[in-house]
Amino acid sequence: MGSDELDEFNIIVAGVGGQGILFTSRVITAAALEAGMRFVQSEVHGLAQRYGSIHTEIRLGRDVRSPLIMPGTLDLLIALEPIEGARFAGYMSGKTSAIVNTYMIPPISAFVEGRKIPELEEILEAIRSAGPGRLVPIPATELAAEAGDPVTTNVVVLGAAAAMGALPFDEGDVRAALGRVTPERYLEVNLRAFDLGRDFVLKGAGR
């Protein structure tokens, strides 16, 4: 798909600092670059990265200028952690696909302050009730462990998103971009993680 065909496609990658949010975003923009698509991506650096809420906003297409997304116009939510995904419920509409890792990382500050942490089901329900066209919960951290390293959680989710057809690229193009962006020594485990995410969707487990 070339840049002429797409006006605007908005993606949020959300999670906890350290989960590989920037890497995931880099794979997506590498695929966009290869496809000759215009894009702009907003990211977070500095103190904000220290185990806090982190997200990137990626906007693909001919008509994008603003580095930030207008709420209500999100096409794809990639949530590497469910609480972090739910924070963007207000960005969704019927056209949104949401893929949400079900592995919860409760913030330590909530335990220190004795705050109640919602159950996974409550969080998924909150996202569902915001009305995304598709919601796919995925046990990505478990699948990543199966691939050989829980650190590849982000790649599992990306593989699932690609297989859902939730990105404006073919699954093979995303996998190729992953190969270009990954350092050699992690290539094998990353491709395995990507395929486990893809297979999870293809088997229909998320429907």
Mask: binding to another protein, 79-118, rule CB under 8 A, as x and -?
----xx-xx-xx-x------------xxxxxxxxx-xxxx
User: Helices 21-34 and 153-163: crossing angle, nearest 10°?
Assistant: 40
Mask: binding to another protein, 149-168, rule CB under 8 A, as x and -?
-x------------------
User: Helices 153-163 and 187-202: crossing angle, nearest 10°?
Assistant: 40
| DSSP H helix total and E strand total for the chain | 8, 6
Taking the least distance from each CB to another protein, the nearer of 3 and 202 is: 3
Stretch of 64-72, 94-102, 172-180, 186-194 lying at the interface with another protein (CB under 8 A): 64-72
Please give the single-letter amino acid code of residue 163. Answer: A
Among 141, 152, 182, 190, binds another protein (CB under 8 A): 141
What SS3 state is found at 68? Answer: coil
Q: How many residues bind another protein (CB under 8 A)?
A: 60
Map tokens 């915001």 to a residue: 130
Q: In whole angstroms, how far apart are CA 71 and each of 38, 74, 93, 166? A: 21, 7, 9, 18
Q: Which two tokens stand for residue 186?
A: 């992690």
The reply on whether position 148 binds another protein by CB under 8 A is no
Residues lying near another protein in the complex (CB under 8 A) = 16-17, 29-30, 33, 38-53, 63-72, 83-84, 86-87, 89-90, 92, 105-113, 115-118, 122-123, 125-127, 129-130, 141, 150
